[in-house]
Amino acid sequence: MSSELHVRKAKRFGGEISVPGDKSISHRAVMLASLANGPCEITGFLPSEDCLATVAAMRALGVKIDVLEESAIGPQRLLVHGRGMALDAPSGEIDCGNSGTTMRLMAGVLAGQAFASRLVGDDSLSRRPMGRVVEPLTAMGCRISAAGAENCCPLEIRGGGLEGTRYELPVASAQVKSAILLAGLFASGKTTVVQPLTTRDHTERMLEFFQVKTLTRGNEITVYGGQKLESRDFTVPGDISSAAFWAVAAAAFPGCHLTITDVGLNPTRSGILHVLAQMGAHIADSVKTDGGGEARGNITVHGRGLKGIEIGGDIIPNIIDELPIMAVAAALAEGTTVIRDAAELRVKETDRIAAVATNLRAMGADVEESYDGMTIRGGKPLQGARVDSYGDHRIAMAFAVAGLFAEGETVVTDAGAIAVSYPGFEDDLKALQKAPAKGEMAATPVITTAPENFSKNGSEGQGNGGD
């Protein structure tokens, strides 16, 4: 993709689309398949820069990974020759690129390997906090240090000799939880992670799928060391975080009808649908299959305009990656939206609170930043503007969607960052603007399910938003 993305106000939007594979699940599939006791075929792999960094990391550790099928956006079917729990020492440093998931989860894997390794990342990743994995892995007996300033990478690891631990996460982070559980596979005895709030549970589900017993009691997850991963084939569902961009655009586009097929509907990730329904969206999901421990199905959205709400509390980790596009939704909604409890946004690929507020203001929206969120007084017409992605894929895509609703032209600079999670985004953006005119597509009945596992405290609205 060119590094500038030019977007004009959309005349039409909708149709049917499938989005590329889930980023979180693709990382984990490659990692767990690499540790399994035989070959595993991964279908629906996300060939984005982040996930390819995980493939390169595993190859650097001696894992043979064949590409079985190459699509227009890259390799989507892989054969990972799992080699059991012992990997080879790498011949050089391992470059995690922009990918926090690669760095933090690989730190957990490498903590279990009796050799020295060094994980490096790009400028953005080199500013992100790594103390959060260094501390628990050190408690398990790993020699690991963050060699950059202020507990940032490079991570220098000499693994092996781990002991199980019980660790209470200071922040709700699936990456840190996963790093500890992966290290726990190599540790003696039991390793328990206690999370302050429910975070995405793909690691636990995929460990179970690979025949590793885990025990989840509320927000405590335990794994016993010494278990072996049985090789299994795995199919990755579409990424709900990518689908979210189109769901918001459709929900805010009166008269539009959109179906997103075969997308992941894991309840620890699908809070976005509930929040959109609270904002008045006419939205439905239907779980079609439940393969590999992950629910998947279709999402349908009928556009009819949105209204402001309060977003905070337990649901935040569930929708953390969707908050930039939710902020755009809020600017397009009537009334005020308050986002709170989301300070983690400040340590993502960029400070997403500052980036979103700056860009929304440049487009004429009324936004106030707080340390852990923002207040958006929606309904002011958006104007096309030049906005920066700050090198952050989700900021770039959120503002491409904002451009569909703005007068004139919106230019997103440094939009090449989108390749981190959504190769093919620009083509999909164009295809969705060729939607059939209203009335050409049959409507589907609407029953919206709420995500199951977050408390109703502070985030519950008026239900499914159906008519």
Catalytic residues: 321
| 174 is a contact residue toward ligand S3P (CB under 6 A) | yes
Residue from the set 320, 325, 329, 400 that interacts with ligand S3P by CB under 6 A: 320
Question: Taking Cα atoms as reference points, which of 293, 339, 350, 349 lies closest to residue 313?
Answer: 339
Residue from the set 200, 274, 282, 296 that interacts with ligand S3P by CB under 6 A: 200
Closer to ligand S3P at the Cβ: 117 or 178?
A: 178
- Give residue for tokens 């936004």: 367
Q: Shortest approach of ligand S3P to residue 45 CB, angstroms?
A: 14
Question: Taking Cα atoms as reference points, which of 184, 61, 448, 91 lies closest to residue 176?
Answer: 184
Q: Shortest approach of ligand S3P to residue 17 CB, angstroms?
A: 21
Closer to ligand S3P at the Cβ: 285 or 321?
A: 321
Edge to edge, what strands does the sheet with 282-291 contain? 15-18, 257-264, 294-302, 282-291
Q: Shortest approach of ligand S3P to residue 25 CB, angstroms?
A: 8
Instruction: Report the site for ligand S3P in 334-353 (rule: CB under 6 A).
Output: 344
User: In whole angstroms, what is the distance from residue 237 CA to residue 380 CA?
Assistant: 36
User: In whole angstroms, what is the distance from residue 243 CA to residue 175 CA?
Assistant: 21
| 242 is a contact residue toward ligand S3P (CB under 6 A) | no
| 178 is a contact residue toward ligand S3P (CB under 6 A) | yes
Residue from the set 24, 198, 222, 359 that interacts with ligand S3P by CB under 6 A: 24
Please identify, among the stretches 69-77, 146-154, 167-175, 385-393, the one whose residues bind ligand S3P according to the rule CB under 6 A: 167-175
Q: Shortest approach of ligand S3P to residue 124 CB, angstroms?
A: 13
Closer to ligand S3P at the Cβ: 25 or 406?
A: 25
User: In whole angstroms, what is the distance from residue 355 CA to residue 137 CA?
Assistant: 32
Using DSSP, state whether 109 is helix, strand or coil: helix
Secondary structure (DSSP) of 161-180: --B--EEE-SS--HHHHHHH
Q: Shortest approach of ligand S3P to residue 321 CB, angstroms?
A: 5
Please identify, among the stretches 1-9, 117-125, 169-177, 357-365, the one whose residues bind ligand S3P according to the rule CB under 6 A: 169-177
Cβ-Cβ contacts under 8 Å for 16 (sequence gap 6 or more): 258, 259, 260, 261
Edge to edge, what strands does the sheet with 386-388 contain? 4-8, 409-413, 386-388
Q: Shortest approach of ligand S3P to residue 450 CB, angstroms?
A: 21
Q: Shortest approach of ligand S3P to residue 26 CB, angstroms?
A: 9
Closer to ligand S3P at the Cβ: 247 or 446?
A: 247
Tell me the site size for ligand S3P, rule CB under 6 A: 10
Closer to ligand S3P at the Cβ: 263 or 320?
A: 320
Instruction: Report the site for ligand S3P in 79-118 (rule: CB under 6 A).
Output: 101
| 321 is a contact residue toward ligand S3P (CB under 6 A) | yes
215 CB neighbour count, 10 Å cutoff: 12
| 175 is a contact residue toward ligand S3P (CB under 6 A) | yes
Q: Report the half-sphere exposure of 262 (CA within 13 A, side-chain side).
A: 12
3-class SS string, 270-309: CHHHHHHHHCCCEEEEEEEEEECCEEEEEEEEECCCCECC
- 86-103 b/e (C-beta count within 10 Å ≥ 16 → b): ebeebeeebbbbbbbbbb
Closer to ligand S3P at the Cβ: 300 or 421?
A: 421
Cβ-Cβ contacts under 8 Å for 304 (sequence gap 6 or more): 251, 254, 255, 280, 281, 282
Interacting residues with ligand S3P (CB under 6 A)? 24, 101, 173-175, 178, 200, 320-321, 344
